[in-house]
């Protein structure tokens, strides 16, 4: 897989938060991440040395235009990603609440048959339904796994499993690394085509206060970046990613937006080399 031809990376906003169960606000995240990305307090380089201002293979592609009801918007998301993939690009999507990962992965799975998903989150997001809603941001990985859109789901940072979600972990054969068992710099061996989904609340709220669901006991920013960087040494093709659940309404001085902008750069850098 290391000789996979390089494909441009499109960074694409998905301003959607209609499936948030607790607080709205994540629809404002793509604009907040872009503002933080351009903030002159930092520069445009990732830690891995990629220059995001100059790079010919990294496309700052704006937001997906969304209108209509939820199903229509999910269709628009899937179609936008399909078009990018057909054009030979890979997409790093900026959410949006986590419900968008279902239409995002639905598009990717149409092109990549044997996907592994690496999912960072405080929550398993495996509910069959939440408050009667199968498309809630608490449900995307149940929809993905029951539809066979991924062959393997590896979760990191989880610290909220209830009885139902533990059953879902077993039902779908999820490799769930709960935070209580987490060891720094240790991911399972991954290979083949990988999709990365990063929920900002995987980070401890001390590091990322700009999220809707405060769940203490999470990853440090450094631990998350180290895990993302560790993918660069694995025999994988990172075919797509999303960064979701930043809630600028809850942020403090734009700190979490800066963290999201940094994660965006580090994830895209790993995509660039994998």
Residue 78 near residue 103 (C-beta atoms within 8 A): yes
Q: Is 98 in the site for Mn ion (CB under 5 A)?
A: yes
Q: Cβ of residue 12: shortest distance to Mn ion, in angstroms?
A: 19
**Which residues, at least 6 apart from 91, have a Cβ–Cβ distance to it below 8 Å?**
9, 10, 11, 12, 81, 84, 85, 104, 240, 241
**Which residues, at least 6 apart from 180, have a Cβ–Cβ distance to it below 8 Å?**
159
Q: Is 123 in the site for Mn ion (CB under 5 A)?
A: yes
Residue 7 near residue 90 (C-beta atoms within 8 A): yes
Name which position in 66, 92, 194, 199 contacts Mn ion (CB under 5 A).
Answer: 199
Q: Is 119 in the site for Mn ion (CB under 5 A)?
A: no
Q: Is 193 in the site for Mn ion (CB under 5 A)?
A: no
Q: Cβ of residue 199: shortest distance to Mn ion, in angstroms?
A: 4
Name which position in 125, 193, 242, 266 contacts Mn ion (CB under 5 A).
Answer: 125
Name which position in 201, 204, 242, 266 contacts Mn ion (CB under 5 A).
Answer: 201
Q: Is 122 in the site for Mn ion (CB under 5 A)?
A: yes
Q: Is 242 in the site for Mn ion (CB under 5 A)?
A: no
Binding segment for Mn ion (CB under 5 A), chosen from 32-40, 53-61, 141-149, 192-200, is 192-200
Residue 250 near residue 270 (C-beta atoms within 8 A): no
R_g over Cα of the chain: 17
**Full strand arrangement of the beta sheet holding 152-158:** 58-63, 9-13, 90-94, 236-244, 192-199, 116-120, 152-158, 175-178
Binding segment for Mn ion (CB under 5 A), chosen from 19-27, 151-159, 199-207, 256-264, is 199-207
Structure tokens at 209: 């206060």
Q: Is 266 in the site for Mn ion (CB under 5 A)?
A: no
Structure tokens at 204: 């401890």
Q: Is 204 in the site for Mn ion (CB under 5 A)?
A: no
Interacting residues with Mn ion (CB under 5 A): 98, 121-123, 125, 199, 201
């Amino acid at each position: 897989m290391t000789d996979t031809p390089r494909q441009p990376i499109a960074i694409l906003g998905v301003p959607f938060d209609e499936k948030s169960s607790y607080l709205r606000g994540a629809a404002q995240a793509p604009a907040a991440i872009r503002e933080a990305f351009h903030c002159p307090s930092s520069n445009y380089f990732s830690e891995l040395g990629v220059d995001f201002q100059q790079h010919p293979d990294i496309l700052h592609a704006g937001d997906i235009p969304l209108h209509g009801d939820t199903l229509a918007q999910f269709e628009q998301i899937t179609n936008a990603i399909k078009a990018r993939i057909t054009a030979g690009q890979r997409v790093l999507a900026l959410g949006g609440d986590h419900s968008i990962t279902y239409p995002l992965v639905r598009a990717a799975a149409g092109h990549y048959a044997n996907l592994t998903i690496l999912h960072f989150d405080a929550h398993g997001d495996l509910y069959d339904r939440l408050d009667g809603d199968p498309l809630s941001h608490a449900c995307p990985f149940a929809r993905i796994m029951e539809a066979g859109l991924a062959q393997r789901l590896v979760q990191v940072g989880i610290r909220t499993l209830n009885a139902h979600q533990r059953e879902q972990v077993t039902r779908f054969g999820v490799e769930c690394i709960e935070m209580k068992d987490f060891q720094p710099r240790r991911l399972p061996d991954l290979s083949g085509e990988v999709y990365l989904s990063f929920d900002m609340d995987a980070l401890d709220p001390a590091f990322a206060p700009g999220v809707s669901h405060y769940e203490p006991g999470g990853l440090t920013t450094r631990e998350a970046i180290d895990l993302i960087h560790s993918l660069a040494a694995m025999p994988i093709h990172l075919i797509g990613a999303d960064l979701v659940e930043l809630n600028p309404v809850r942020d403090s001085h734009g700190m979490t937006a800066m963290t999201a902008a940094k994660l965006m750069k580090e994830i895209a850098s790993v995509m660039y080399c994998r």
